[in-house]
Structure 1
């Protein structure tokens, strides 16, 4: 218990004040046990200072209620055809889920805990502002999701099925700043005053993008997660850089759609899911195939999110709405929708997306407050450009290390030694716009196969104080664990010991 808190303490400080969007899909919310477990973890995240938007789907319940009422359950291209019977079922199921979540979040601590650790007045309202039942979580909901009718697509009238257009980000942020947990369902509202049945995945994605969320977390069964290799018995990777996730999806799509245009660059790929192309601009700084010419008024360092510079994100158009206007679709045919969602969200500016197994008790806490986690993380922040160094990089590495060698922070290496270590794949570099801006080496420690030394760790002076050192170190730790099967990392330093101690080294 004590050791867990010591390990978790850096993450508690890191996540405090962050905004997380947590998606509980319909197949998870249909299970009372899973819902109880996830909501309890969400409540604890809130207590630890995380700003939470909780999106709860109801697809399974809607199907069940529709059948009970004699209606027909009909899906076309993963979207439900929502007739009046299905609409009534959707409103009932989503309303039931909202009430259930609010009830679970109202759970109070036991009397023995409050008596031992908290003083309060007689009517139960103490200094911390707890409600009379002892609970301190306020869950709020509202008409935050704007949608439009899907209409008739390829001859299918989707009736009351809606497409999410944008999110009331201002309203949600206001509630989050007050300390509330914001509850969202799969229901959206249009300008005609209608309730529309949307998809919880679309709601979660739009919310995460428009809020510029730090994390999007999807509670999903491991069978829906990507696997390393072709054997489904192999374990889920703990970490996927955005480019690896894109390559994974492109490979699946290209393999299974050879007869229909073939691959991401085929006739179909150039349309809705052209964002999977590696060369597709993620910051709006250039011309994308099929897109308008973009003239940017911002420097590279100021472009932190996708398409900010297309027309300028302002009050009249949201980030998510901008993406939809470009005709992009986050769903890629034949690919797991959870990973599609994760990759698209990261490419659109969400720093990290986590796929977490809801069947494991406490999985959300383990994923967020331990170094190795328990789920699969897709990351788009700056270390996505980190890779193994090649011979073409050795002079750039030398340039970065020279100032540190001069002041004694890094040991001197001859050109021959540096080239030899690069050839042995010891060095890793962070690249930005074709320029190497940071480096580090992971060198074996003698005859110990499970130990490596972190050496020659450096960031170019003009790129310091931007989180790149933290990102490079986390990349190195993930690479050492996942690829090198390393259980121990060592560091020899006298000048920068404090920086590494603050990040978990002893």
Structure 2
């Protein structure tokens, strides 16, 4: 294949691992599909996305979400288009982020820009999505006078004129639309009961819509405006308090601050999760929703990834984690009945409703010891420190039970435990009860750590 040819292949020519990868991926996204079916997502994006040519790909991905049973409300902005209209008309005014004073002339430009964008969006959903995974899909998009606005008024002596804020949303009408499988489209304009039009900030409109609809998610699609760590990596999950602390420091750029402030406000007012997702990455909205860590910054009231005691309802998920390792001989077969019997000894690692790790601590207190068993992190989520998190939890739990030493039996992962302070022992070092049930045919190695 030459360097100019596209690196694609048909199903018949696919390498042998492709089917297995597909099946594994499909199984992994299934819990998210099940969890989000019937939920409402508010997706907001500025005019920059359209200006950068991202509308067609976004429409294809949104159509897929709609086909999966997710109810969608779209909120678009129009700032660059309004600024271009103003420039062409010889106006010196240029809009920045957020709510700004709007003259009657600027309002006319906002109407023109919103109208053009609305038609572009409707046309994109109406073309049958050729050459996409949603080819021939028929997605209805409905817009209308869903938004009642009021004037911002005079603030600190500044008359905001035709700039407005959301006064009320016709939630009943919007829910009626999305219940029929259609997508609601909101433009950044609102109308007063007397028929006056007002220019609205996209971020404010989207936040109000998400709160009023009790949306599961508010997703801001941004130009790479995510919160990053000191090493430049994306901070994928922020508790709302941490987001507010970060905003108070004043170290973020204006765009990121605006999006993060509205994300935090939405979560504070009841939206389960709010996201800042870079639209410049192909398929970013799908990656954010259907992968463990996502590709953007998610704000939640408290962190979604947490250790918690296992419950009876978790047995199935624990069995699914354990079975592949039992099949390849890494773990001794236990069976579902044993997991059900010992479920109170398990702790699970959960993210966004999906269990992807577990560990069990089994006390042998007459010997001052505890066993750590079934320390598992799903293969797709390994390498991020979750194994260490489970180990630390097991050590803390064993210590709280009164154990002075923690032991583990392993046939495949001896180096992992050696690197974390365990020393190799022998069968004679095990508690009496454990020695009596030791499986000599497996010849598991014994590693012990003093607590």
Q: TM-score, normalised by structure 1?
A: 0.57
Structure 2 vs 1, CA of residues 113 and 154 (structure 1 numbering), >3 Å: closer, same or farther? closer
Q: Does 1:447 align with 2:368?
A: no
- Alignment correspondent of 2:37: 16
Secondary structure, in 3 states, of the residue corresponding to 1:79? coil
Query: In the alignment, is the contact (CA less than 8 A) between 2:98 and 2:203 conserved in 1?
Result: no
- Alignment correspondent of 1:72: 92
**How many pairs were matched up?**
324
Counterparts of 1:44 and 1:77, CA distance in 2 = 30
Instruction: Specify which structure has the higher proportion of strand.
Output: 2
2:393 aligned residue (411, 426, 430): 426
Q: Counterparts in 2 of 1:36-55, with a 5 A limit?
A: 36-55=56-75
Q: Which has the higher contact order (CA 8 A, sep 6+)?
A: 1
- Alignment correspondent of 2:448: none
Query: In the alignment, is the contact (CA less than 8 A) between 1:90 and 1:197 conserved in 2?
Result: yes
Query: In the alignment, is the contact (CA less than 8 A) between 2:79 and 2:95 conserved in 1?
Result: no
Deviation at 1:29, TM superposition (A): 2.9
Structure 2 vs 1, CA of residues 414 and 38 (structure 1 numbering), >3 Å: closer, same or farther? farther
Q: Counterparts in 2 of 1:19-418, with a 5 A limit?
A: 19-31=40-52, 33-74=53-94, 78-108=98-128, 134-222=136-224, 224-229=225-230, 234-250=232-248, 252-253=249-250, 336-380=257-301, 383=304, 408-409=342-343, 410=345, 411-412=362-363, 414=365
Counterparts of 1:218 and 1:18, CA distance in 2 = 17
| Larger-Rg structure | 2
- Alignment correspondent of 2:445: none
What are the ranges of 5 or more consecutive residues in structure 2 without an aligned counterpart? 1-17, 310-337, 346-361, 373-387, 397-407, 421-451
Counterparts of 1:406 and 1:138, CA distance in 2 = 47
- Alignment correspondent of 2:436: none
Counterparts of 1:207 and 1:216, CA distance in 2 = 9
Secondary structure, in 3 states, of the residue corresponding to 1:206? helix
Query: In the alignment, is the contact (CA less than 8 A) between 1:23 and 1:55 conserved in 2?
Result: yes
Secondary structure, in 3 states, of the residue corresponding to 1:412? strand
Query: In the alignment, is the contact (CA less than 8 A) between 1:241 and 1:380 conserved in 2?
Result: yes
Structure 2 vs 1, CA of residues 173 and 47 (structure 1 numbering), >3 Å: closer, same or farther? same
Structure 2 vs 1, CA of residues 73 and 388 (structure 1 numbering), >3 Å: closer, same or farther? farther
CA offsets per residue over residues 379-411 of structure 1, 9 Å max, x none?
Answer: 226848x5899xxxxxxxxxxxxxx99953322
Counterparts of 1:113 and 1:60, CA distance in 2 = 30
Structure 2 vs 1, CA of residues 74 and 428 (structure 1 numbering), >3 Å: closer, same or farther? farther
Secondary structure, in 3 states, of the residue corresponding to 2:65? helix
Counterparts of 2:132 and 2:416, CA distance in 1 = 50
CA offsets per residue over residues 308-334 of structure 1, 9 Å max, x none?
Answer: xxxxxxxxxxxxxxxxxxxxxxxx999
CA offsets per residue over residues 270-309 of structure 1, 9 Å max, x none?
Answer: xxxxxxxxxxxxxxxxxxxxxxxxxxxxxxxxxxxxxxxx
Counterparts of 1:352 and 1:113, CA distance in 2 = 27
Counterparts of 1:428 and 1:207, CA distance in 2 = 46
Query: In the alignment, is the contact (CA less than 8 A) between 2:86 and 2:94 conserved in 1?
Result: no
Counterparts of 1:334 and 1:139, CA distance in 2 = 28
Deviation at 1:205, TM superposition (A): 0.1
Structure 2 vs 1, CA of residues 450 and 24 (structure 1 numbering), >3 Å: closer, same or farther? farther
Structure 2 vs 1, CA of residues 382 and 79 (structure 1 numbering), >3 Å: closer, same or farther? closer
Counterparts of 2:70 and 2:91, CA distance in 1 = 41
CA offsets per residue over residues 41-96 of structure 1, 9 Å max, x none?
Answer: 11111111110000010011111101111223155884222112111110111111
Q: TM-score, normalised by structure 2?
A: 0.63
Secondary structure, in 3 states, of the residue corresponding to 2:293? coil
